[in-house]
Structure 1
């Protein structure tokens, strides 16, 4: 075996036992006697180190031999070729650091102390040194000692070996701290440096934990890279491997396992001195480069994280006051993709701002005098924007703006890093963070809170975490992506909690929409909600998600987030999308089947799902229909997120257009193969108002997808009449434009002008909702007391009414949903005014006893107290 091959084998052995190295030593002995592990040498002068070793017959790769290793990591070792010695011989080995010279002197005994002893020698062997033979030192009569670094691994244990060949070994069968020859392994919990003392006459032994002096755990409150001008602390969870390093600016540093702290377990850590602001780093697990799961910044197109001094990214004028939100039910959510919102020139946004964080909040933009962008949102009246993923995602990684690559961002890599594609200066890492903060701050100045769409349920590929530990991922693919995250692992759950906290604390985020929250156990989601709402009790954060998974069977179905378990998260203020109400209003997501808003009453339901949805689908413990997917699930109205369309599936206008078209043929991937356009777009627009009118006047929290307020289509270049314009690639297209180009996805602001009536309707209904506390009741008990919902039998379920008498409001309200033809309905007692119909705000006064309501419409009446 050549010296080089021996080094490679030894390096692999060291990788398995790096936890046993002595961080306080400067030079290490590595050779056949200790199975090429790193054994600290004793410093005898400023430039001299010594060790005494008994060499046996060598190993399977050659004669007995050794090297001297500078750092214990093979970065620098001497001599160039292995130092070969005689078999079955004891040597005192000396090393001079001035000229790197080595001498090996044959000795009869390593003990030159003159102390009495029973054993000729004694070796420590255990999990801490991969069961290699590490010599102990005779420090007094019959007294042997050694300091070892224990790592706290599972089933940590050791024994003592007289000759280093297992011929005469000792354990502790009775756990009485007295050694027994050929006794049982000695188990020891805990981690850190321990002084082990053995009396070879009485066979008694002791372990004394020593105060940490080097590579000690540092008082940090989180993992990742924690920066100070003097040093940066690098920490990572590594439950499976002790071979943990970090490469910082090209220099590799070994991490040591540290005692559990702040709820973290199995953490490896190192402090690297110096001002490392903007230093490049990556962790190495078993030699494989991995991204930092807690990384705050990433270099595009690499696995290299960046050390950040976040204090340098603060806003010059500080944070503006957060927009007031008295109750979560006051929220009106607007879902939007950063690129979609401003990439089209019609947005009026400056060229360098288009598709960027700063484009989202550029004020004063217009198209032919019509407000666009941020001013449009203020005009519409929404309280929250929900941003499709804006953390670092895989697709389009680091590509220039000239590349039209597009993605929604549901392929995460680093959960805590702002996506570079939306930054004007992606390689100016501090400014990238500052741009994101500026966006949030400017939204706050405009009276709008910011929600992040987060995808903790999976990663782009398993390469993100799998080389750190397979424990990050579920055995069963729950998300449908092949890489579902297992939040039932405590440290994985903690990663998610820490990430959520980081975005709130560092970036001022006001809430989170969880992609496929249904793959998580509701108990874990409760923990996250409880932690966030305790730490940020004054924020009224919004937390909600999709209560389904990726169409997977789940052995833990009963403990996952579902309609039937949502009520358990009520104290933590966690809600879910009300898909049952959505389907009752519009029909299916990707096909042409229709429902209530299309004047198509499901006979099996008879309008009862609309009746329940108007009340925010309240849970009742006495309902015999309760179950995993029963539609009445919310223990508080804030738990019902009411919507018709979102980024997934057909948008509002595309769903209506296709459902009212004729001769529609779709394949199994929902792509459109043929269609004949609808004959009456006037009716189609009425359907859009009707459906969204139900959302805006129901209890719970309403949700709008960007552009629905002016009939945005995601057909290619708005060519809705052409079947091919509905499709992109093999499976994508209008129903799923996650990677389709701007021709499909960009918001064309001319639609706000051509569909001004629809915009006015949305604006008027939002204003109506914000003007009346009765539309935003905050408990199920309040709704039960002050909202009388009826389904008049004479209309067969086509008409659903709601009479609101909330004392928090200055008016009573009477709401009528009519899925049939024009008809007369009975009004509650008193004199009423009609304040909303199919066109939006109206003012028809002095109505009593009975009033006519239009078909395919929401009509709202108001009566002063």
Structure 2
């Protein structure tokens, strides 16, 4: 039932002629209701409904023969019951604890308290009845604060019809969807005040976001908490490996022939990124927290169970509900102290299981088709109906919870097209009211067909103050996910791809965006192949798993595959917009051909820090590109007009040459360098001449090279007369600048 004036019933088979259908409310036949039978469609449409229908009533359809009685599911009809307060879930006061649960169809709700996380539902220590507000659909109660530190569940009662068509009372149990603390595996909520000092680590009350002048200054680094420190070579304490606390530990290193090489969070600081994007660390269903020593008991975490509480698999002790809260805050505070902001990967497009939400409000939280079956735009079996007011409110409240209570600095939305545009706009507004530099971005696509028409699809971010992953730019640079070939890895002479790279370098302002900050520029992420694996596999489809990254020369820059990797990274780090680095790209990370490692073991997913020792020169090269970007605002332009007037990006000679030139003019964006020229050579031509590609300089001026195929940074590698700039290596980048006013 979506409307107040119509109910549509879908029949299992065509009714016999003469069959009559009647509507009953709380066992009382509703005279005057009109039943229109659509025989061929196997539908019955009821109109002229009574105006007094309320959500707790049992609305029942009965037939004179063949069909059993059935209960009407209230769906969008429930939108009239709404609550706008900011006190849903549990709130703590000096002497009391308040509880609020939106469950407009439940005829009774009880709060059950348990001493242990694994207590059976019948073995509760305390029970309280909640009071119902008929206008909002909210059930609430207040208990004494001395009952803090109990586990809790809700017990809900509903009018229903059993399998024999008889009226019955259905009872369900549910975890509070707003629960901010939970027991092992998230099967019960836990009562603890997350704003009390007991849940705060040293320094938390003074924690603040690292300074960020503008969103274009961001450089994002994506990682999975377990992957980053799980291996012994990470140097992290054994009990902290793969945990929140592993992200907090400083001073870790791995030994090399030339001394110690920083690992873990210190490596991020050395690299120079501004943000770390953490794969999901809210409570997810696909890791059993009772057997964390199993190296294959791991997952990316895109399987939400409890949205507002941290997952226990990253805790040193998942049996302690309060510890994981402190550990997350310790992790975030440690990263903030090192100048790194934290982005949380959020998955509000589906849930691992619909049961808990359906136990609270059956048929409301998830999209269903006309037959009441879950739609599957996520590819995971269901999709949250964020367009419904109380689902939208839940999502907005959840995001605010993480930003306010954990000082999260950015949010990334999985399958953002499945989140309605109105909800995304609400989120952007409330977050930017807190801090306009909080990043909001996501995937502007979905995983399958969805009934949602108002989704946040590609292009809807234009001038709306949030960003999207620019997969058009990505595919132009390195090809489709097949893996295909792109500009840097085998198809540099494609005019379409080369011009798409040109457009991406300009922030995609002529096609996708209104301004550069709306584009997240990337070449790989946790999904699909790593950049190394993609580039190698795309040019050798016979390559088998386990045989990647072999036979590299001692001088790593002599490898064309290495240079192709570096060229791809150089493009996103010198493009307008926000660069996004998949963790490990700076050390040529391989997963040996596993392109969907969401549940693969540590042997596939772990960071092998020995790779940083082996490929330290590659790491230093990427670090130099980041330094160049951070120190020179020409690469971080905020407005399209400056790009239009002062940045000239063109293809050398003809659109099939494989060479692109970017010329930044006139101290653009107040850069200290008057002219900057970036040349991208994706062709296989070594010793490529560049002098005729350079703009003229004034008398006695020189070109100063700061990036070539082996070195990158802001310090001059060499200075040259306008006609004497050296030849260029294949699959490489060159950066030159003229007069500096410093």
TM-score by length of structure 2 reads: 0.79
Residue of structure 2 in register with 1:612 after alignment:
503
Residue of structure 1 in register with 2:15 after alignment:
none
Partner Cα distance (1:762, 1:612) in 2: 23
Partner Cα distance (1:347, 1:737) in 2: 21
Aligned counterpart for 1:326 among listed residues 203, 209, 213: 213
Offset of residue 659 of structure 1: 2.4
Matched, 1:529 2:428: yes
Partner Cα distance (1:749, 1:521) in 2: 41
Q: Is the 8 A contact 1:762 1:840 kept in 2?
A: no
Aligned counterpart for 1:269 among listed residues 134, 140, 161: 140
Matched, 1:299 2:178: no
Matched, 1:258 2:149: no
Offset of residue 674 of structure 1: 9.3
Residue of structure 2 in register with 1:843 after alignment:
717
Offset of residue 606 of structure 1: 5.2
Over the aligned positions, Cα root-mean-square deviation in angstroms equals 2.7
Aligned counterpart for 2:575 among listed residues 692, 698, 709: 698
Matched, 1:748 2:608: yes
Deviations 1:25-67 (A, max 9, x none): xxxxxxxxxxxxxxxxxxxxxxxxxxxxxxxxxxxxxxxxxxx
Offset of residue 555 of structure 1: 4.2
Offset of residue 257 of structure 1: 2.2
Residue of structure 1 in register with 2:287 after alignment:
396
Superposition map of 1:101-116 within 5 A: none
Residue of structure 1 in register with 2:638 after alignment:
778
Q: Is the 8 A contact 2:584 2:607 kept in 1?
A: yes
Partner Cα distance (2:131, 2:446) in 1: 38
Aligned counterpart for 2:444 among listed residues 547, 550, 558: 547
Partner of 2:423, secondary structure, is helix
Offset of residue 692 of structure 1: 0.4
Residue of structure 1 in register with 2:164 after alignment:
none
Q: Is the 8 A contact 1:255 1:268 kept in 2?
A: yes
Q: In structure 2, do the counterparts of structure 1 residues 157 and 515 end up closer, same or farther at CA, with 3 Å as the change threshold?
A: closer
Decide which structure has the larger Cα Rg and report it: 1
Q: Is the 8 A contact 1:653 1:711 kept in 2?
A: yes
Offset of residue 797 of structure 1: 4.7
Residue of structure 2 in register with 1:230 after alignment:
95
Residue of structure 2 in register with 1:563 after alignment:
458
Partner of 1:823, secondary structure, is coil
Q: In structure 2, do the counterparts of structure 1 residues 850 and 293 end up closer, same or farther at CA, with 3 Å as the change threshold?
A: farther
Offset of residue 849 of structure 1: 5.0
Partner Cα distance (2:543, 2:251) in 1: 42
Residue of structure 1 in register with 2:61 after alignment:
none
Residue of structure 2 in register with 1:172 after alignment:
none
Residue of structure 2 in register with 1:356 after alignment:
243
Aligned counterpart for 1:860 among listed residues 730, 735, 739: 735
Partner Cα distance (2:173, 2:628) in 1: 55
Offset of residue 809 of structure 1: 0.9
Partner of 1:656, secondary structure, is helix
Q: In structure 2, do the counterparts of structure 1 residues 281 and 602 end up closer, same or farther at CA, with 3 Å as the change threshold?
A: farther
Q: In structure 2, do the counterparts of structure 1 residues 586 and 275 end up closer, same or farther at CA, with 3 Å as the change threshold?
A: same
Q: In structure 2, do the counterparts of structure 1 residues 686 and 604 end up closer, same or farther at CA, with 3 Å as the change threshold?
A: closer
Aligned counterpart for 2:586 among listed residues 704, 709, 714: 709
Q: Is the 8 A contact 2:492 2:656 kept in 1?
A: no
Partner Cα distance (1:157, 1:815) in 2: 64
More strand by share: 1
Partner Cα distance (2:549, 2:517) in 1: 41
Partner Cα distance (1:711, 1:546) in 2: 25
Residue of structure 1 in register with 2:404 after alignment:
505
Offset of residue 230 of structure 1: 2.0
Residue of structure 2 in register with 1:478 after alignment:
377
Partner Cα distance (1:440, 1:451) in 2: 10
Offset of residue 474 of structure 1: 1.4
Residue of structure 2 in register with 1:30 after alignment:
none
Deviations 1:329-355 (A, max 9, x none): 100001011111111000001111111
Deviations 1:562-618 (A, max 9, x none): 223221xx34x2111010111101112243x21111141363515110110001111
Residue of structure 2 in register with 1:142 after alignment:
none
Aligned counterpart for 2:226 among listed residues 334, 339, 354: 339
Offset of residue 365 of structure 1: 0.6
Offset of residue 676 of structure 1: 11
Partner of 2:528, secondary structure, is coil
Partner of 1:596, secondary structure, is coil
Give the gaps of 5 or more residues in structure 1: 1-125, 133-152, 159-189, 192-216, 620-631, 666-671, 716-725, 727-733
Q: Is the 8 A contact 1:229 1:277 kept in 2?
A: no
Offset of residue 693 of structure 1: 0.6
Q: In structure 2, do the counterparts of structure 1 residues 662 and 471 end up closer, same or farther at CA, with 3 Å as the change threshold?
A: closer
Residue of structure 2 in register with 1:588 after alignment:
480
Offset of residue 321 of structure 1: 3.4
Q: Is the 8 A contact 2:342 2:409 kept in 1?
A: yes
Q: In structure 2, do the counterparts of structure 1 residues 130 and 285 end up closer, same or farther at CA, with 3 Å as the change threshold?
A: farther
Offset of residue 853 of structure 1: 2.9
Partner of 2:649, secondary structure, is strand
**Higher mean Cα deviation, 852-861 or 452-461?**
852-861
Q: Is the 8 A contact 1:228 1:309 kept in 2?
A: no
Aligned counterpart for 1:314 among listed residues 200, 209, 225: 200
Matched, 1:816 2:679: yes
Partner of 1:487, secondary structure, is coil
Residue of structure 2 in register with 1:661 after alignment:
540
Deviations 1:345-387 (A, max 9, x none): 0000111111111111211111001110111010000000000
Partner Cα distance (1:377, 1:597) in 2: 26
Aligned counterpart for 1:644 among listed residues 523, 526, 537: 523
TM-score by length of structure 1 reads: 0.68
Tell me how many residue pairs correspond in the alignment.
616
Offset of residue 266 of structure 1: 2.2
Q: Is the 8 A contact 2:396 2:423 kept in 1?
A: no
Q: Is the 8 A contact 1:690 1:857 kept in 2?
A: yes
